[in-house]
A = this chain, B = another copy of it.
Amino acid sequence: CSAHDDSLDQTRLLMRLCSERYYISSEAFNTRTCTYGPLGTELKKNIIDLWTSAIRSRAYVFGISNSMQSRIPEEPGRIVNLKSFQEILSKDNPSKEETSQNIQKHLKDSLSVRTSLLQGALQQYIQALELVNRTLPFGLAETGLCYNFDNQLRHSSDCSSEVTESSLVWFCSPRTSSQWMDYWVHHRLKWWRKFALGPSDFNLCNVGDESLKEGASHGVKVLYNFPWGSETLETLWTLGDTQLLKTHQETSVKVQCRDGRKSVVPHVISVSVNVDRGMLAYLFNSLQRLKKTDSKQKLHQRTVLKLHPALTPVKVALDIGRGSNSELRQVCEGLLQEFLEVGISTWPGYLDTKSLENLNTKYDEMGVLFTVMVSESTLKSGLLLVRNRDTTIRETMHISEIKCFLLKYISASENH
Cβ-defined contact, B67 with A33, below 8 A: yes
Complex formed: what's the CA distance from A21 to B166 in Å? 24
Cβ-defined contact, A79 with B78, below 8 A: yes
Cβ-defined contact, B80 with A127, below 8 A: no
Q: Please give me the residue from chain B that is nearest to A71 by CB atom.
A: B31
The answer, yes or no, to whether A182 is at the interface (CB within 8 Å) is no
Cβ-defined contact, A81 with B149, below 8 A: yes
Partner of A348, one of B37, B59, B69, B96: B59
The answer, yes or no, to whether A341 is at the interface (CB within 8 Å) is yes
| Residues A79 and B82 in contact in the complex (CB < 8 Å), given A59-B336, A133-B351, A348-B59 | no
Binding site for B on A (CB under 8 A): 22, 25-27, 33-38, 40-42, 44-45, 53, 56-57, 59-60, 62-69, 76-83, 85, 89, 95-96, 99-100, 103-104, 107, 111, 113, 120, 123-124, 127-128, 131-133, 135, 142, 145, 147, 149, 159-162, 333, 336-337, 340-341, 343, 348, 351-354
| Residues A59 and B337 in contact in the complex (CB < 8 Å), given A67-B34, A68-B145 | yes
Complex formed: what's the CA distance from A59 to B354 in Å? 20
Q: How far is the CB of A167 from chain B (nearest CB, A)?
A: 13
- Given contact pairs A38-B131, A79-B161, enumerate 5 new A-B contacts (beta carbons under 8 Å): A33-B67, A36-B65, A38-B128, A57-B341, A99-B100
List chain B residues, Cβ under 8 A from A354: 133
Tell me how many chains of this kind the complex includes: 2
Complex formed: what's the CA distance from A131 to B65 in Å? 35
Cβ-defined contact, B133 with A69, below 8 A: no
Q: How far is the CB of A212 from chain B (nearest CB, A)?
A: 23
Complex formed: what's the CA distance from A159 to B66 in Å? 12
Q: Please give me the residue from chain B that is nearest to A45 by CB atom.
A: B63
Cβ-defined contact, B89 with A37, below 8 A: no
Q: Please give me the residue from chain B that is nearest to A75 by CB atom.
A: B82
Q: How far is the CB of A253 from chain B (nearest CB, A)?
A: 19
List chain B residues, Cβ under 8 A from A160: 67, 69, 111
Q: How far is the CB of A38 from chain B (nearest CB, A)?
A: 4
Partner of A100, one of B27, B80, B89, B95: B89
Cβ-defined contact, A69 with B33, below 8 A: yes
Name 26 A/B residue pairs within 8 A (Cβ), A-sorted. Answer: A22-B131, A26-B127, A34-B67, A35-B67, A35-B120, A36-B66, A37-B62, A38-B63, A42-B63, A67-B159, A67-B160, A67-B162, A69-B162, A76-B82, A76-B83, A77-B82, A79-B113, A79-B147, A79-B161, A85-B103, A96-B99, A99-B100, A111-B160, A133-B351, A133-B352, A133-B354
Partner of A131, one of B111, B133, B352: B352
Complex formed: what's the CA distance from A157 to B136 in Å? 36
Partner of A79, one of B77, B128, B333: B77
List chain B residues, Cβ under 8 A from A341: 57
List chain B residues, Cβ under 8 A from A66: 33-36
Q: Which of A33, A60, A80, A103 has the most CB of B within 10 A?
A: A80
Q: Please give me the residue from chain B that is nearest to A36 by CB atom.
A: B65
Cβ-defined contact, A44 with B65, below 8 A: yes
In the A-B complex, the 5 residue pairs with the closest CB atoms: A38-B62, A33-B67, A96-B96, A133-B352, A41-B63
